[in-house]
Amino acid sequence: MIDTPGVFPWCVHGLMMMDFTENKGEVRALGSGTVVDVSSNSCTVITAGHNLWDRDYGVGAKTVTFCLGYGSKMSCYETKCFTFSRLFKETADDIKARNYDLGVVVLPGINHLEKFKLLSIKHRDLLKHKVNVTGYPADKKDGLMYTMEGPVKKFNHPHRMFYDIHTFNGNSGSGVWFDHSKEKHCCVGVHTYGIDPDEPYDSNSGTRLTKENIEKVKLWARTLTKLGTY
């Protein structure tokens, strides 16, 4: 458990609350997100695409509330300014769609000073590092931030990585990060899934921040900041 969620590096991580309208009525889902260094004119948060688009019901979130450093006396912001990968939405096969499970939330006019850098790193170099997943797992006490560390183990797709880190529902969207000696605190991925028998490896997994995905995040952030919605 993180006792000081309002202090760096923990203050860049936040609780996300997503409101959907589904067949069963109004539904609120919980997830996590991490503030990254993309735009100086807004607060850009990376998260999982499935936090923003429900593939089971084929609906997107109506609104997202992001609470910076939730658990401390940090502020919460509601926004409709978010987007996610088109390939995650349109790929028919659920397992293949996981390769593109990435989204961005923008808080226009909010310039959070503390941010993580985005870093694309080669397979062989990433395997040398232990990474962290920091967020709000639902099996823990409500509203408390937790962080776990473990090694990167495998890759089965250029945009996916598998690691030995315990996670739970609510961690989805957490930045996968480590303290890089040159670049300082960097996100190299976004946590998306726990252990699944349909996956090739017995490990949790996330979407890698490849050069291609980093450029997508930057483009989405610029577009959302300019439009104020999506």
Which CATH number describes the domain made up of 10-116+211-227? Answer: 2.40.10.10
pLDDT per residue, tens digit, the chain (230 aa), is 888 888 888 889 999 999 998 777 788 999 999 999 886 677 899 999 999 999 988 999 999 999 887 765 668 889 999 999 999 999 999 989 999 999 999 987 777 678 999 999 888 888 888 999 998 888 777 678 889 999 998 888 889 999 988 887 889 999 999 987 666 899 999 999 988 777 767 788 999 999 999 999 999 998 888 876 54
Rg (CA), the chain: 16
Note whether 10-116+211-227 and 117-208 share their fold: yes
pLDDT (0 to 100) of residue 230: 44
Which CATH number describes the domain made up of 117-208? Answer: 2.40.10.10
pLDDT (0 to 100) of residue 220: 93
Is residue 222 classed as helix, strand or coil in its secondary structure? helix
Closest CA relative to residue 122, chosen from 34, 209, 218, 213: 209
pTM of the entire predicted model: 0.91
Closest CA relative to residue 175, chosen from 190, 163, 160: 190
Domain regions of the chain by residue span: 10-116+211-227, 117-208
Residue 125: count other Cβ atoms within 10 Å of its Cβ.
10
- Cα torsion 148, 184, 10, 194 to 10°: value is -30
